[in-house]
Homo-oligomer: A and B are copies of this chain.
């Protein structure tokens, strides 16, 4: 099964935005992410609704941050994407009548819940400023930051 890369993709986009003074257009970002401008708008719409970025139309328009990078956690972004599903694996039936199935769902579900909590805590503790700092250290060693 293929993995959903929207979180990675949008972080990639945001980091490129963080490196610029001026707003970036959907076309600019689409180039970075090797995709389509409409796809970019679709994804960024969630972040705009969550107050993470703002968009402007017309000349000089495009996307820019609505608040400091240090005020934006990965969890904020994850939630803004509207995909609160972390795991591919999950229960077969939400409301099983079979006692066997109920039992299986509970055991698996508990394990997944714990792992998810770990992940969310990690996301909550990492801000875009952290990510940008991490990137700048890496960029210092290798200057080929196109793409």
Contacts and interface: CB of A to CB of B under 8 A. Distances in A.
Interface in A88-147: 88-93, 96-108, 111-112, 114-116, 118-119, 122-123, 126, 130-131, 134-135, 138-139, 142, 144-147
Interface in A1-36: 1, 3-9, 11-12, 15-16, 19, 32-33
B103 A134 contact: yes
Given A118-B114, A119-B112, A100 B147 contact: yes
A99 B137 CA distance: 10
Query: Chain A at the B interface: mostly helix, strand, loop or mixed?
Result: helix
Interface stretch (A49-57, A58-66, A79-87): A79-87
Contact of A88 (B87, B107, B118): B87
Interface residues of A, number: 60
30 contacts: A1-B83, A3-B88, A5-B90, A5-B91, A5-B92, A5-B93, A6-B89, A8-B89, A8-B92, A8-B104, A11-B104, A12-B101, A12-B104, A19-B100, A74-B108, A86-B87, A97-B147, A99-B135, A99-B142, A99-B144, A100-B135, A100-B145, A102-B138, A103-B138, A104-B131, A104-B135, A111-B119, A111-B126, A114-B118, A115-B119
